[in-house]
Structure 1
């Protein structure tokens, strides 16, 4: 598997950049969406994201089991690591350490069955004030640890700032 990580703040252009990169690499990429429908706002966001992708895309959804689809195409955009970790964190009863173990296990399952190029999108969430709650601080710690884990595996890492890509690795 060739891994590319695209990270940055919310609304920094991560998804658009990853999608354009995928379309430059493949005529028929897959989009593996990880969001759960938490509320009406999330349902609207999901619908908006889906409608923005045309018939070139193979649309897949999986909130926790990234390896479930066994996609055979050339390129997968995995959007997004942050929402996927949120789902696992919730399922692990907000236990940071248990979630990190589970996330690494599920990531290893994906990398074991995927021969494609994976463009993984995830937020940079640790650049602001410390979270007010213990649960929030634990999620920031979890997220940072996991992003470091996959960035170490990645062949390329891109940081998006105001819609502009900065090559990190």
Structure 2
């Protein structure tokens, strides 16, 4: 199962995703993709870790998600925005290469026989960026979100902490 959870910054995506994962597993995996770029960001990461507690197995992986085998597990991948950011900056201005590499990596991990809960940001809701770099990143983010949403069984948009189901192809129970 692949469940994509999207929404704006600080909309409650991660908290919603964490609760969903805990409803599916008593010993879930948290696949963290963020690089630590300053002390404030490090503190934010630590707050997230403390909130999750000890029942989670946390794996930090900036780009090469498929190096890890999650067969039979429930995995929270948080988040695509920070993950695609790593490709964006590593590849300079080659956005096509960033998208190609990200899709290739996603194709590998999504073939694993496990349950994926994937968190991403919906950047396109915030208006037009004021500079070329931000616009390039928004385009890349939008492309990878669409790619994942097409593959996902479920897609949920979080607005002000409230879930809005956009897609659900799973059999009704």
Q: Partner of 2:134 in structure 1?
A: 136
* CA drift at 1:154: 0.3
Q: 1:79 and 1:4 mapped to 2: Cα distance? A: 12
Q: Partner of 1:12 in structure 2?
A: 11
**Segment drifting more, 39-48 vs 89-98:** 89-98
Q: Partner of 2:170 in structure 1?
A: none
Indicate how the Cα distance of structure 1 residues 23 and 98 shifts in structure 2: closer, same or farther if over 3 A, else same. Answer: same
Aligned length: 167
Q: 1:72 and 1:144 mapped to 2: Cα distance? A: 28
Q: 1:50 and 1:107 mapped to 2: Cα distance? A: 24
Alignment RMSD (CA, Å):
1.0
TM-score when scaled to structure 1? Answer: 0.95
Q: 1:147 and 1:38 mapped to 2: Cα distance? A: 23
CA contact (8 A) 1:81 1:122 kept: yes
**Segment drifting more, 33-42 vs 71-80:** 71-80
Q: Partner of 1:26 in structure 2?
A: 25
Q: Partner of 1:69 in structure 2?
A: 68
- 2:109 equivalent to 1:110: yes
Q: Partner of 2:148 in structure 1?
A: 150
**Segment drifting more, 49-58 vs 156-165:** 49-58
SS in 2 for 1:4: strand
Q: Name stretches of at least 5 consecutive residues in structure 1 with no aligned partner.
A: none
CA contact (8 A) 1:28 1:73 kept: no
TM-score when scaled to structure 2? Answer: 0.93
C-alpha deviations, 1:83-141, integer Å up to 9, x for none?
A: 000011011114221111111011112123x2111000000001122112211111111
Q: 1:74 and 1:111 mapped to 2: Cα distance? A: 12
